[in-house]
Amino acid sequence: MIQVAINGYGTIGKRVADAVSAQPDMEVLGVAKTRPNFEAETAVEKGYPLYAAIEDRLDQFDEAGIEVAGTVDELVEAADIVVDACPSGIGADNKAMYEEYDTPALFQGGEDADVGEVSFNARANYDEAGDADYVRVVSCNTTGLSRLVAPLEEAYGIEKVRATLVRRGGDPGQTGRGPINDILPNPVTLPSHHGPDVNTIFPDLNIDTLGMKVPATLMHTHSINVELESRPDAAEVRELLESQSRTFVVPDHMDIDGAGKLKEYAMDRGRPRADIWENCIWGASITMEDNDLYLFQAIHQESDVVPENVDAIRAVLGTKSAEESVETTNDAMGMGL
Ligand code: NAD
């Protein structure tokens, strides 16, 4: 069993912990937290050994009556691999600790690309992580774009991608984020960081991205135009996207008109935390005009990177092929809507 440490148990870390513990070939060795908050309580309830990320704060856990198994460096030393899910920038600071204990580590998309030897998306470049000890699992938006680009590039070739990313202002728990009554070009300059980030996975791809932020918390929505090298019809493209294991092409009859109903559907399907791990592509939006493909997709920012982290663990440790890993992850999590 692969012993996985999770350092940073917030939005991404707690989801990765649950996904890891569902896998047949890995277990959660422990999770590290800075504070004894509600997430620390639930980690203990779930049976994840809890480690203090900051030694000086051990007494805070004591005062809250939360039992701690040790400090984060003990956890890192004992683990086969660490998933760092700390806030942006802290992962890079933690890298020296992982190097000190010679423990391979995954970082998240909020880190600069150079934190890892490879930026990772299971559908696009699983094998590249095989020779790396430090790998960055790209952000939610880059994951969503990569899952779309990979099959289109393979099937039809791509001249250029133009994507406008309408991004949620914050996650539901991020009560201090905004905007609360505005629609922001964000950044107002082009390209947004997403295009260059997609190029960390597809170095030769010609892509322009524009970013916006809106007062929403549920999901991001991408308006996509892909100029293809060949001219499939829309039905063919739809079939291709339906055949991918981490895309959900929203059937027209479902009457799902936005992120609210997608989340409602995820709740009806009994998804943990109403998570939607798949790209949600509106089938009715898939349109071809000459060589130009157009579509809308929604991305659940809190969860689409979770299966990618699970696959990156196996990719770095070399325990399964891409196909075997994706299948194992998908089966264990219950992928597919
Ligand atoms: P978060 O704030 O929800 O969780 C981070 C957790 O790390 C918090 O519990 C925080 O207390 C803890 N922490 C802070 N300093 C720490 C330290 N030194 N050691 C251990 N734990 C520490 O953040 P998040 O949304 O889970 O984001 C984590 C990473 O994932 C970031 O790089 C982010 O860019 C990336 N990411 C976030 C999203 C998203 O939408 N939330 C999506 C994809 C990728």
Taking the chain (337 residues) in consecutive chunks of 10 residues, what is each chunk's mean pLDDT? 98 98 98 96 97 92 94 97 98 98 98 98 98 97 98 98 98 95 97 98 98 98 98 98 98 97 98 98 98 98 98 98 98 96
The three-class DSSP label of residue 228 is strand
pLDDT in the model for residue 315: 98
Q: What burial letters (b/e) apply to 182-211, b meaning 16+ CB within 10 Å?
A: eeeebeeeebbebbebbbbbbeebebebbb
Which residue type is seen at 217? T
Q: What is the dihedral of CA 292, 295, 300, 305, to 10 degrees?
A: -30
CB distance 139 to ligand 1 below 6 Å: yes
- Given a contact cutoff of 8 angstroms between Cβ atoms, the answer to whether 152 and 158 are in contact is yes
CB distance 169 to ligand 1 below 6 Å: no
CA 249 from centre of chain: 19
- Given a contact cutoff of 8 angstroms between Cβ atoms, the answer to whether 165 and 212 are in contact is yes
Helices (H), the chain: 11-21, 38-45, 58-63, 72-78, 90-100, 122-125, 140-156, 194-199, 234-242, 259-268, 306-317, 322-333
Q: What is the DSSP string of 250-301?
A: E-GGG---SHHHHHHHHHHTT-GGG---SEEEEGGG-EEETTEEEEEEEE-T
- Residue 7: closest CA among 71, 64, 68: 71
pLDDT in the model for residue 219: 98
pLDDT in the model for residue 45: 96
- Given a contact cutoff of 8 angstroms between Cβ atoms, the answer to whether 54 and 8 are in contact is no
CB distance 146 to ligand 1 below 6 Å: no
How much is the CA Rg of the chain, to the nearest whole Å?
20
- Distance in Å, CA 213 to ligand 1 centroid: 20
pLDDT in the model for residue 112: 97
Atom of ligand 1 nearest to the CA of 39: 9
- Given a contact cutoff of 8 angstroms between Cβ atoms, the answer to whether 101 and 77 are in contact is yes
Candidate list 43, 137, 140, 145, residue with the active-site label: 140
Which residue type is seen at 286? I
pTM of the model: 0.98
Kindly tell me the number of DSSP H helices and DSSP E strands found in the chain: 12, 16
- Distance in Å, CA 84 to ligand 1 centroid: 8
Q: Mark whether 140 is an active-site residue.
A: yes
- Given a contact cutoff of 8 angstroms between Cβ atoms, the answer to whether 224 and 231 are in contact is no
* Domains, the chain, ordered by start: 2-138+306-333 (3.40.50.720), 140-299 (3.30.360.10)
